């Protein structure tokens, strides 16, 4: 079944607005953050209007309603990624915090000087800097799976790195610059065969692909609500319960404890052990509404739609003299098109496109080492989601011809 794009676009109020200069918004920056459907906005609004109270703490009607909504969302998020249990879903602020939770709790309890962590050259800073910090503190070793010219991970090098029995393999399921969809199941299986634990950065995959925790067999998987039609300020860490149970808590405070004495505490059970303090309640409810929305539209249909848009976009962008695209062909990537336009700085490209309402991101997209690998400081990046259209791709392409004209 194909998406009813006109109906879908009606769900996103922001797509109906214009810029200050009267141009229609052409939002091609969903990789940075997606737009939010009215169903998510209303769910959060409704919580504040009808059920606002703190959770897990009260027996009154509002507290019970708020708790049920907060925990109900967790159940639906667990189902969305096919986790074995909702106890395996820890609410965090975002992907970055989920990865840091592993670096602080699991890694500090399990890694010592000389232990090897394998990352890749296409990681977002969120999956690099926490490991740099641990390297400085503990003396762990870091190795990187190289990225080929085509924008794929070099699995032959990965296999040789595995001979050094890493303790952790941590990689992005989908690159936010190249769009590459990495063969996660294969990478995980190979890591497990040498006894390594695996953390997957799912910031770009969960919003766009159907992911199944039990089939993938990842040990930890991190993602953010705001990239998948949900609000900012909330994300999740999936973890196998056996690993989460063995880990020390991350942040200490209310809600994450069973009992506190003056000189000691006993940690709470999962998932609360990792959720200290009053959480982002409305945002969790919005997160639940976002997975309901995506489920209703259909993840398979969303992926197919994005594939068609990406194929079209790559074709049209390739036509433009001076455009250089980064990343593999459409069949190996998600809805991301990063490119340079010869002789013109990506920031200038983005700024001129904005005059016609076309929103793209320019810069290193928090993947500076990847840009260095390709010998460039920055790219312009157009990215697509369930509400993107071929007409919007055409507007991007027209805008790029205009940029070229302006810069002679």
**What are 155's two structure tokens?**
């699995």
Which of 25/32 has CB closer to ligand C6P? 32
* Spatial CB neighbours of 208, under 8 Å, sequence gap ≥ 6: 174, 302, 303, 306, 334, 335, 385
- Of 401, 338, 335, nearest in space to 366 by CA: 338
**203 touching ligand C6P, by CB under 6 A:** yes
- Choose, from 243, 267, 366, 376, the residue flagged as catalytic: 366
Which of 66/77 has CB closer to ligand C6P? 77
**124 touching ligand C6P, by CB under 6 A:** yes
Q: Which of 100, 105, 170, 176 binds ligand C6P (CB under 6 A)?
A: 176
Question: Per CB under 6 A, which of residues 306..365 are in contact with ligand C6P?
Answer: 361, 365
| Closest distance of CB 208 from ligand C6P, Å | 11
Site string for ligand C6P, 361-380 (x = CB under 6 A): x---xx--------------
Site string for ligand C6P, 219-258 (x = CB under 6 A): -----x----------------------------------
* Spatial CB neighbours of 252, under 8 Å, sequence gap ≥ 6: 265, 276
Stretch touching ligand C6P by CB under 6 A, among 69-77, 88-96, 191-199, 398-406 = 88-96
Place of tokens 């945002």: 283
Q: Which of 95, 310, 388, 389 binds ligand C6P (CB under 6 A)?
A: 95
Residues touching ligand C6P, count (CB under 6 A): 16
Q: Contact, 207 vs 228, CB < 8 A?
A: yes
Which of 333/365 has CB closer to ligand C6P? 365
Stretch touching ligand C6P by CB under 6 A, among 112-120, 161-169, 187-195, 199-207 = 199-207
**92 touching ligand C6P, by CB under 6 A:** no
Could you tell me the maximum CA-CA distance found in the chain, to the nearest angstrom? 72
Q: Which of 30, 34, 51, 94 binds ligand C6P (CB under 6 A)?
A: 94
| Closest distance of CB 370 from ligand C6P, Å | 11
Which of 201/283 has CB closer to ligand C6P? 201
| Closest distance of CB 361 from ligand C6P, Å | 6
What size, in residues, is the chain? Answer: 408
Which of 92/268 has CB closer to ligand C6P? 92
CA atoms within 13 A on the CB side of 86: 12
**30 touching ligand C6P, by CB under 6 A:** no
Cis peptide before 338 (omega within 30 of 0): no
**201 touching ligand C6P, by CB under 6 A:** yes
Which of 3/234 has CB closer to ligand C6P? 234
Q: Which of 30, 31, 180, 310 binds ligand C6P (CB under 6 A)?
A: 31
- Of 211, 270, 205, nearest in space to 243 by CA: 270
Q: 174-191 burial, b if ≥16 CB within 10 A, otherwise e?
A: bbbbbbbbbebeebbebb
Instruction: Clarify whether 366 is annotated catalytic.
Output: yes
Give strand pairing partners of 339: 325, 380
Phi, psi of 193 (to 5 degrees): -65, -25
| Closest distance of CB 223 from ligand C6P, Å | 8
Phi, psi of 221 (to 5 degrees): -145, 125
Quick one: angle between helices 390-406 and 299-318, nearest 10?
Answer: 30
Query: Using CA atoms, how far apart are residues 147 and 71, in angstroms rounded to an integer?
Result: 40
Query: Using CA atoms, how far apart are residues 300 and 206, in angstroms rounded to an integer?
Result: 12
Which of 51/95 has CB closer to ligand C6P? 95
Q: Contact, 249 vs 256, CB < 8 A?
A: yes
The contact set with ligand C6P (CB under 6 A) reads 31-32, 94-96, 124, 126, 172, 176, 201, 203-204, 224, 361, 365-366
Catalytic residue annotation:
366
């Amino acid at each position: 079944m194909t998406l009813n794009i006109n109906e879908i676009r009606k769900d996103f109020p922001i797509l109906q607005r214009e810029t200050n200069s009267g141009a229609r918004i052409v939002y091609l920056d969903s990789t940075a953050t997606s737009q939010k459907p009215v169903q998510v906005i209303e769910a959060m609004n409704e919580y504040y209007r009808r059920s606002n109270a703190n959770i897990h703490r009260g027996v009154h009607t509002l507290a019970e309603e708020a708790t049920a909504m907060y925990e109900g969302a967790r159940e639906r998020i667990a189902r969305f990624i096919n986790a074995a249990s909702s106890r395996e879903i820890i609410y965090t602020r975002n992907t970055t915090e989920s990865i840091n939770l592993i670096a602080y709790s699991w890694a500090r309890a399990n890694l010592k000087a000389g232990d090897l962590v394998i990352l890749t050259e296409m990681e977002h800073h969120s999956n690099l800097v926490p490991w740099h910090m641990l390297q400085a503190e503990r003396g762990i070793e870091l190795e990187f799976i190289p990225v080929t010219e085509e924008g794929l991970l070099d699995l032959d090098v990965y296999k040789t790195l595995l001979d050094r029995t890493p303790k952790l393999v941590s990689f992005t399921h989908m690159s936010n610059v190249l769009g590459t969809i990495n063969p996660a199941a294969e990478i995980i299986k190979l890591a497990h065969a040498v006894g390594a634990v695996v953390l997957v950065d799912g910031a770009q995959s969960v919003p766009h692909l159907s992911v199944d925790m039990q089939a993938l067999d990842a040990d930890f998987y991190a993602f953010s609500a705001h990239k998948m039609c949900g609000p900012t300020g909330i994300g999740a860490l999936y973890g196998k319960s056996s690993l989460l149970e063995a880990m020390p808590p991350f942040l200490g405070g209310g809600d994450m404890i069973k009992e506190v004495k003056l000189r000691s505490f006993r940690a709470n059970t999962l998932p609360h052990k990792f959720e200290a303090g009053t959480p982002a309640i409305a945002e969790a409810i919005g997160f639940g509404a976002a997975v309901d929305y995506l489920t209703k539209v259909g993840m398979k249909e969303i992926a197919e739609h994005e594939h068609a848009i990406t194929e079209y976009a790559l074709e049209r962008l390739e036509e433009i003299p001076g455009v250089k695209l980064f990343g593999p062909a459409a069949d190996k990537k998600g809805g991301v098109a990063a490119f340079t336009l010869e002789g013109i700085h990506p920031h200038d490209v983005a700024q001129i496109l904005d005059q016609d309402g076309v929103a793209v991101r320019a810069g290193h997209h928090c993947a500076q080492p990847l840009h260095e690998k390709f010998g460039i400081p920055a790219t312009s990046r157009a990215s697509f989601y369930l509400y993107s259209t071929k007409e919007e791709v055409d507007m991007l392409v027209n805008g790029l011809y205009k940029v070229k004209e302006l810069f002679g």
